[in-house]
Amino acid sequence: MTDSQPVDIAHLAHTLRDDNIAGVTIGWVDNNGVVRSRAVPTSELAGVARRGVGVTAVFAVFDSHDGITFAHSGLSTPSGDVRLIPVIDSESSVVSLAGQPGMAWVHGRQMAADGAPWPYDQRAVLERQVQRAADAGFEVRAGFEIEFALTRESDGLPAHRGPAYSANAMRDVDEFAVLLLESLATNGLSIGQIHAEYGGAQLEIALSPLGPMAAADAQILARQTIHTAARAVGLRASFAPLPSSSSAGNGWHLHTSLVRDGHNALTGDGEYGLSETGRSYIAGLVRELPGLVAITAPSSGSLLRRRPGYWAGAFGFWGIENREAAVRLVPSTPLLGPDHTNVELKACDASANPYLALAVTIAAGLSGVADSARLPQPVQEDVGGWDDARRDAAGISPLATTHDRQRENLLASTLVADVLGDELLGAFVACRDADAAWASSHTEDELLESLRWIY
């Protein structure tokens, strides 16, 4: 909708009530990848759209265990309130939820109590990067691949017996798969595929590419849809980066591409089937990886998953269709057409705020385009099998697997600091420090258990 065609929210609320929608959940994602929410009666939606719902300012410094850290000077007391505003820019912004009769969903933004921008609002961070891309002449397309593990609610056993990627595995969860497909469609979400993944009782869906804001919104709604469908058939879904020490772990791989004048701007007739823009875009991502992954895979669970053989982006390099590469080029082909080219960031998972993950990814790629960054040679092998000397000679370093190193990389990234701003970066670091302090006094199994169901 445009400014000249505003949504009649009072009429929308009336329509929702006629459809027996009793309440509307307003959801947002915190700095730990956790979806937080408030629900309001449908009759109050029009008023809430104007004035919002009050929430505490310290949600920005909640950690992954619902602790509140006051280590960030900008939010160092329990005082303060902000307004959670539903984002209603079309009638389809409010979704009547499949599997939750009487409830609808809308995404929210956080604003200061006086209606001014709130520096800790992650949604606004992505909006700024989308505008920067537009100013540079680009539209961005993005999509998430969402992996999750299914267990039976009754006894915690795996929901399917494998084999990986098999029809047998999908047959074990047929009732769930059918319900999920129906629910995703009802909730207005499009996917390219669903399949049994490599890990035990693991599935994956691939969300269809959208603009960045819509892609982040879709990711949040998709996980709510998966949770609801699983519960309906006696299952439970874990999106945790590493649900247990014996699991393969879950990635939420982030695919991006650039569009200019209606065509994929990454595709070209140069080396690797890339344009100059495409080569520089990938170079920017590779260059910024150490700081980038501190946002896109930030949790203690992410650090434990980041190891060779997990397809989690353990080393800072790129490759063409190389699933061990942190940055994977998915090139166009004669079958798929020239607009198919996209870049996958492997080191991304459910503990990332999707708006921040997309924002720093877009910024990193565009920084490479802006200064014509030089793309190193692709690596088509599993560098985890190389020795240190060979990796050093190729200029390939492991990405952080400890909190201290990841924190150092995060604070060293001028790009991330520019994207997040001082206030939000300070709160984000405080959350990571609080998580690390919790992890230091617990075993690995206790840590993984504490994160298993929170996303």
pLDDT digits (tens, 9 = 90+) for 221-253: 999 999 999 999 999 999 999 999 999 899 999
**Residue 183 token pair:** 């629910």
Distance CA 163, CA 175 (A): 18
pLDDT at 228: 98
Whether residue 2 is predicted with pLDDT greater than 50 in this model: the reply is no
pLDDT at 434: 98
Please identify which residue in the block is written with the tokens 């001028």: 414
pLDDT at 4: 45
- In the chain, the percentage of residues whose pLDDT exceeds 90 is 97
51 Cβ partners below 8 Å, 6+ apart?
A: 83
Domains in the chain, please, with CATH? Answer: 9-117 (3.10.20.70), 128-451 (3.30.590.10)
Whether residue 197 is predicted with pLDDT greater than 50 in this model: the reply is yes
Number of neighbours of residue 156 by Cβ within 10 angstroms = 8
Helix (H, G, I), strand (E, B) or coil at 389: helix
Q: Any alpha helices (H) in 233-353, and if so which ranges?
A: 276-287, 289-296, 300-305
CB-based contact 359:125 (threshold 8 Å): yes
- In the chain, the percentage of residues whose pLDDT exceeds 70 is 99
Distance CA 360, CA 304 (A): 22
pLDDT at 68: 98
CA neighbor of 425 nearest in space, from 400, 405, 407: 407
Q: Any alpha helices (H) in 157-211, and if so which ranges?
A: 167-172, 174-186
> Do you find a cis peptide bond into 78, omega within 30 degrees of 0?
no
- Residue 254: its H or E element: strand 254-260
pLDDT at 6: 86
pLDDT digits (tens, 9 = 90+) for 25-58: 999 999 999 999 999 999 999 999 999 999 999 9
CB-based contact 342:199 (threshold 8 Å): no
Please state the separation of Cα 131 from the chain's center in Å.
19
pLDDT at 1: 35
pLDDT digits (tens, 9 = 90+) for 415-444: 999 999 999 999 999 999 999 999 999 999
pTM: 0.97
Please state the separation of Cα 331 from the chain's center in Å.
22
Distance CA 301, CA 243 (A): 8
Beta bridge partners of 177: none
Reading phi first (left if > 0) and then psi (alpha if -120 to 50, else beta), residue 34 is in beta
Whether residue 193 is predicted with pLDDT greater than 60 in this model: the reply is yes
pLDDT digits (tens, 9 = 90+) for 55-110: 999 999 999 999 999 999 999 999 999 999 999 999 999 999 999 999 999 999 99
pLDDT confidence band for 5 (50 / 70 / 90): low
CB-based contact 296:348 (threshold 8 Å): yes
pLDDT confidence band for 276 (50 / 70 / 90): very high
Whether residue 3 is predicted with pLDDT greater than 70 in this model: the reply is no
